[in-house]
Amino acid sequence: MRTAWDQTIHDFIASTKDPNDPDLTISGLFFDQLADTSGVPDPAPVGVPWNAFPQILTNWFAVQPGANQEQLANEWAEKTITTSTLFGLFKKDAGGNFEPIPVTYRRQDEYCEWFVERTGNQIRRMYFTCEPPEYWEFLAQKDISLVLELYRELLHNPNIQQSEICWAFDVYSRPDSQGHRRLLYRQGDYNPRNDWNTTKGAVHLTHWANSLSAEVRLASDGSLGWAQPAGPVDPHRLICCAGFGGVNRSSDPKIGSTVYSVARQGFSVALANPVGLYMQHFQLPGLRDPQGAAIPNALRFVRQSSNGQNILRAELEPPAGAGYSLDQCTLIGDSLRFGGQIARLITMSLFAIAKQIPGATSTAVPGCPATCCPYPTNGQFFGSFGNDGKACGQRSAQEWAGNLRDLNDIQAHPLMPQGVLLAEHLEAPEPEAKIHGRALTSP
């Protein structure tokens, strides 16, 4: 199984070299570490850190009075989004007509997602994961029983049934230009956004942009020869120009610009083996029980690398028999109410290597394919658009809709950008299965 997974990673990397992909610019400086035959020794990997809490929510709520900002962002970070349009999944009804399938995902888009297990206001446990959906789909294809076993173990629930994590019907794509639909999943196939991984628990990543293939593509795109001013790289300006990820995130601008900074010096770049996204640092000594005592063993790393450095899954819960729940605890003096309070104290990381490979050359990208605009009523929130020369003030609601897809259910607040602009396209079909390079996680 390990060999097959290695091949999957090779395939992700190879997909960034696909000459038939019209949306792709192949980078001459992005390479596959394990397939490298240059003979140039690999240096030690370098880690690129970012914070796990969705920066997009911090930016969105930035226009709120100070005391509200963090609270609102924490609250909304936990509310899942259900869409019948974004993923473009359909099933046949009894009459043979295709009807859209509602799909639920988390709006936690920094490659780290969490779920808070609540009973009413009581918080029993929190799960944090950064495992990519591709790995679990891969695992399910090989051994669905193992996946079920892991679900039961990771979510502490022996009653989860296989039928609950698998599709109950065949799942089809949107029609292509000829009106043909592809069969994406057969009945009984693993459903990565099943209830136990969305509204009832968290086993792996669900956000449309949180995927390993997206990480690979981002690293490849970052190594292109973007049209940037000479000298050092401004991550915000670069991502606005390149459009290779979410401009409102902490992760994508940081990852892309770090790769680009090295590649523009002529170094070839690879994601270090094992390719993945990891939780690297938790700053949680401020967690206290209801009596004010420290709870040193509340955080458990459930899935991690053998050296303990690369954490894939963590759980937070009171010690066995503690007699209290997490909501009765405090974190740095505040009542623990949201997983976001913890996420703000998690440092994420991915690892890359850079070396000079003789003959490898940068692939120049003329001009900027994308551009950014601040939101009309919130200068801290940016949208990414095709670089068509249009002034920011001329961007339509439809153009903004793609940038607001993870926010458009947030109710209008007196100080918030009004819902008028958003409501217009709430249920509009998503024309693209890819948003500026960071692909949707769909088959």
Exposed (0-12), middle (13-18) or buried (19+): which is 333, by Cβ within 10 Å? exposed
Sheet holding 183-185, edge to edge: 98-100, 90-92, 171-172, 183-185
Among 19, 22, 39, 65, binds other proteins (CB under 8 A): 65
* Whether the Cβ atoms of residue 310 and residue 278 lie closer than 8 Å to each other: yes
Closest to other proteins by CB, 102 or 379 = 379
Compute the distance between CA of residue 89 and CA of residue 427 in angstroms, rounded to an integer. Answer: 14
Site for other proteins, residues 275 to 294, rule: CB under 8 A: 280-281, 283, 285-286, 288, 292-294
Closest to other proteins by CB, 330 or 363 = 330
Number of residues that bind other proteins (CB under 8 A): 61
Judged by CB under 8 A, does residue 75 bind other proteins?
Answer: no
Judged by CB under 8 A, does residue 59 bind other proteins?
Answer: yes
Q: Return the residue matching tokens 């990673």.
A: 9
Compute the distance between CA of residue 2 and CA of residue 8 in angstroms, rounded to an integer. Answer: 10
Judged by CB under 8 A, does residue 274 bind other proteins?
Answer: no
User: Minimum distance from CB of 364 to other proteins (Å)?
Assistant: 21
Closest to other proteins by CB, 160 or 262 = 262
Judged by CB under 8 A, does residue 431 bind other proteins?
Answer: no
Closest to other proteins by CB, 81 or 262 = 262
Report the chain's terminal Cα–Cα distance, integer Å.
Answer: 20
Q: In which element (H, E) is residue 214 found? A: helix 212-222
Among 233, 241, 311, 421, binds other proteins (CB under 8 A): 233
Site for other proteins, residues 293 to 312, rule: CB under 8 A: 293-294, 296
Q: Which stretch binds other proteins (CB under 8 A): 15-23, 137-145, 220-228, 229-237?
A: 229-237
Judged by CB under 8 A, does residue 111 bind other proteins?
Answer: no
Tell me the per-residue interface mask from 328 to 347 with other proteins, x by CB under 8 A, - otherwise.
--xxxxxx---------x-x
- Non-local CB neighbours of 165 within 8 Å, separated by 6+ positions: 147, 148, 151, 190, 191, 194, 196, 197
Closest to other proteins by CB, 155 or 348 = 348
347 strand-pairing partners = 51, 281
Round the CA-based radius of gyration of the chain to a whole number and report it.
Answer: 22
Q: In which element (H, E) is residue 66 found? A: helix 66-77
Closest to other proteins by CB, 133 or 253 = 253
Compute the distance between CA of residue 89 and CA of residue 94 in angstroms, rounded to an integer. Answer: 17
Give Cα 235 to chain centroid, integer Å.
18
Closest to other proteins by CB, 8 or 68 = 68
Closest to other proteins by CB, 344 or 425 = 344
Sign of the torsion angle spanned by Cα atoms 296, 302, 303, 305? positive
Judged by CB under 8 A, does residue 314 bind other proteins?
Answer: no
User: Minimum distance from CB of 29 to other proteins (Å)?
Assistant: 12
Structure tokens at 37: 């035959």
Helix (H, G, I), strand (E, B) or coil at 263: helix
Judged by CB under 8 A, does residue 153 bind other proteins?
Answer: no
Structure tokens at 56: 């997009």
* Whether the Cβ atoms of residue 53 and residue 344 lie closer than 8 Å to each other: yes
User: Minimum distance from CB of 67 to other proteins (Å)?
Assistant: 5
Compute the distance between CA of residue 341 and CA of residue 112 in angstroms, rounded to an integer. Answer: 13
311 strand-pairing partners = 279, 304
Closest to other proteins by CB, 265 or 361 = 265
Judged by CB under 8 A, does residue 420 bind other proteins?
Answer: no
Tell me the per-residue interface mask from 32 to 51 with other proteins, x by CB under 8 A, - otherwise.
-----------xx-xxxxxx
Site for other proteins, residues 360 to 419, rule: CB under 8 A: 374, 379-382, 415
Tell me the per-residue interface mask from 240 to 269 with other proteins, x by CB under 8 A, - otherwise.
----------x--xx--x---xx--x-x--
Across 178-205, b (16+ Cβ under 10 Å) vs e yields eeeeeebbeeebbbbbbebbbeebbbbb
For residue 190, the 8-state DSSP code is B
- Enumerate binding residues for other proteins (CB under 8 A): 43-44, 46-51, 55, 58-59, 62-67, 70, 231-236, 250, 253-254, 257, 261-262, 265, 267, 280-281, 283, 285-286, 288, 292-294, 296, 330-335, 345, 347-349, 351, 354-355, 374, 379-382, 415
